[in-house]
Amino acid sequence: MKGKILITGGAGFIGSEYVRQHAAKRKLVVVDKLTYAGDRQRLKAVAKDIVFHKADVANKLRMEAIFAKEKPQDVIHFAAQTHVDRSIQDNHPFIAANVTGTQNMVDLARQFKVKRFVHISTDEVYGDSTDTHSRFKETAPLRPSNPYSATKAAAEFIVTTAVRTYGLPAVIVRPANNYGPWQYPEKFVPVIILKALHNQHVPVYGKGLQIREWLHVTDCARGIDTVYKKGKTGEIYNIGSYFERPNIVTAKTILQAMEKPASLIKFVKDRPGHDFRYSVDCGKLRQLGWRPEVRFETGMRETIQWYRENIPWLQRKRIMLEELWKKVYKKK
């Protein structure tokens, strides 16, 4: 694995964690459109070790020029629009980034004879589990239930059919819900931390009974690397932690760790089509030697500490976010 690895979405939350873990040892070429969710600050610590291109994966000509220049040996494809609530408002940017973008990456990987293509999918492609005990194995049918997960399922089919039709040397990973430093404050954990820091109401959908499986971002990035190195072509690997909690319990745990009262929690109208429970069986990845290493309590304590130390970053993102939402609602 001596050649260049092209990493799409490498300025995002999980992609940048992967880049930070490997920049010193490997030749990494990061491609990112720098949407509202992308931020080169996440790569500041390793900026001198990587090559960066600002580009949209949905723009095939631009991506072709980057492939021609960099000649990557392998591709790890993180780039996507990722926020479910936004996809419910308008799914078109999701179709462009997640579906057209993936088709372009697959086409270019074939054209430039890439040796390894790692596609980052999500556990959301399974839809929700309606009970509280079974876990999805990789063989379970895909039943996405929101516009975002529909585009992620479509992207997966583009990859799996390219494996079968053209022999694309691809593997797919389906991670559970990630948390950790640098996550954009529109997602559940950083929203709670930010609101609590300012003693504001902490919004929780419905009655907070939805169950999520929490995976620390460093463990996720290590899982992706395990699949990159050892995964079998054409195979799919779940990445989970087996650490599940109803959202209300997670919200209370965070508030307790921040020494804030549970009375800050405010239940808000549930998200339409909100999945009840996600839970994946990651025995297949464990067989490749990977294990999650970060205990939830430790990971969450450190995450809260990181946000406390980076309040200006968090605050700046939140202001940007509010401006963006104002524009979205004004258009409607």
Ligand X SMILES: NC(=O)c1ccc[n+]([C@@H]2O[C@H](COP(=O)([O-])OP(=O)(O)OC[C@H]3O[C@@H](n4cnc5c(N)ncnc54)[C@H](O)[C@@H]3O)[C@@H](O)[C@H]2O)c1
What is the closest distance, in whole angstroms, from the C-beta atom of residue 196 to ligand X in the complex?
20
What is the closest distance, in whole angstroms, from the C-beta atom of residue 178 to ligand X in the complex?
4
Q: Does 14 bind ligand X (CB under 6 A)?
A: yes
Q: Is 148 a catalytic residue?
A: yes
Q: Does 15 bind ligand X (CB under 6 A)?
A: yes
Q: How many CB atoms lie within 10 A of CB 128?
A: 20
Q: Would you say 17 or 202 has its CB closer to ligand X? A: 17
3-class secondary-structure state, position 124: helix
Q: Does 50 bind ligand X (CB under 6 A)?
A: no
Q: Does 80 bind ligand X (CB under 6 A)?
A: yes
DSSP states of 17-86: HHHHHHTTTS-EEEEE---TT--GGGGGGGGGGEEEEE--TT-HHHHHHHHHHH--SEEEE------HHH
Stated length of the chain:
332
Q: Provide the strand spans (E) within the chain.
A: 5-8, 28-32, 50-54, 74-77, 116-120, 170-175, 177-179, 202-205, 211-216, 236-239, 244-246, 265-268
Q: Is 225 a catalytic residue?
A: no
The one-letter amino acid code at 227 reads V
What is the closest distance, in whole angstroms, from the C-beta atom of residue 259 to ligand X in the complex?
26
**Which residue of 87, 102, 129, 177 would you call a contact of ligand X, by CB under 6 A?**
177
Of 19-27, 56-64, 256-264, 302-310: span binding ligand X (CB under 6 A): 56-64
Q: Does 258 bind ligand X (CB under 6 A)?
A: no
Q: How far apart (Å, rounded) are the C-alpha atoms in residues 74 and 113?
A: 9
What is the closest distance, in whole angstroms, from the C-beta atom of residue 326 to ligand X in the complex?
20
Q: Does 12 bind ligand X (CB under 6 A)?
A: yes
Tokens of 297: 């309590």
Residues in contact with ligand X by CB under 6 A are 8-9, 11-15, 32-35, 37-38, 56-58, 78-82, 97, 101, 120, 122, 152, 175, 177-178, 184
Catalytic residues: 123-124, 148
